[in-house]
Amino acid sequence: MGTDNLFHKRKAKSAKGLQRRIARRDPYAKVLIVCEGEKTEPRYFQDLRNHYGLNTANIEVCGECGSDPNSVLQFATQRYREEKDAGDAFDQVFCVFDKDIHANYDEALNAIAKAQPRNTFVVMNSVPCFEYWLLLHFIYSTRPYLALPGNSAGNQVLSELRGYLPDYEKGANNIFAMLLDQLEFAKSNAERSLNEAQANVTDNPTTRIHELVNFLQEIKMPR
């Protein structure tokens, strides 16, 4: 009888805890954004979240998951299971990573496409790197980036970006705020370059970051 009462008390406590968690959220999707980079990408999306007044209880941004696409997916899957087991699963999970020189890039893309539950895990990839998205705030370019001896494709984009942002370093603060005035221009450029790449059966260069930005900008709208 005592064990029975203890079980019911724990169950009631767990239910109250879940109710409190849900009560802290606003009435829109609960989203997880897992980024390959420890600083640049997480800070960008944290700043975006703050700018649009999105609830941190709804939008979780993580960057402490390792530096390759498979580690992003593994971390995202683990966090999804943790929240699901707690009775409060994420509605969408976005995996943000680059192609650049990652050997397991295609493997990660295939795994995300098969991830369960279907249509919950979404890849937000950039080719060759996240800095291509930042570059599109200044120019429209579809020039492919090819690795050269001692100069990766990602480093080439970084060098080009510094032509517009001379002091840019990975992990820099306030990048979202600095580029906010050019955001709609970048979104248009990203959509245009993605369409052109698909028409030419290539992915170099492309980014889907604009799709995640659109999602977050519109998340409060009734669906």
pLDDT value, residue 176: 97
Helix axes 105-114, 69-85, angle to 10 degrees: 30
pLDDT value, residue 11: 45
Q: If you ran DSSP here, which 8-state letter would residue 91 be given?
A: S
Instruction: Domain ranges for the chain, please list them.
Output: 27-218
Domain covering 27-218, topology? Rossmann fold (3.40.50)
Checking phi first, is residue 193 left (phi over 0); if not, alpha (psi -120 to 50) or beta?
alpha
Q: pTM for this structure?
A: 0.91
| 45-72 pLDDT, tens digit each | 999 999 999 999 999 999 988 778 999 9
What token pair was written down for 168? 């840019």
Q: Give the whole-angstrom CA distance, residue 45 versus residue 176.
A: 8
pLDDT value, residue 220: 93
> Is it the case that residue 39 has pLDDT exceeding 50?
yes
8 A C-beta contact, residue 139 and residue 125: no
| 73-101 pLDDT, tens digit each | 999 999 999 999 999 999 999 999 999 88
Checking phi first, is residue 171 left (phi over 0); if not, alpha (psi -120 to 50) or beta?
left
Q: What is the mean pLDDT of residues 111-132?
A: 97
Average pLDDT over the chain reads 91
What token pair was written down for 143? 């020039």
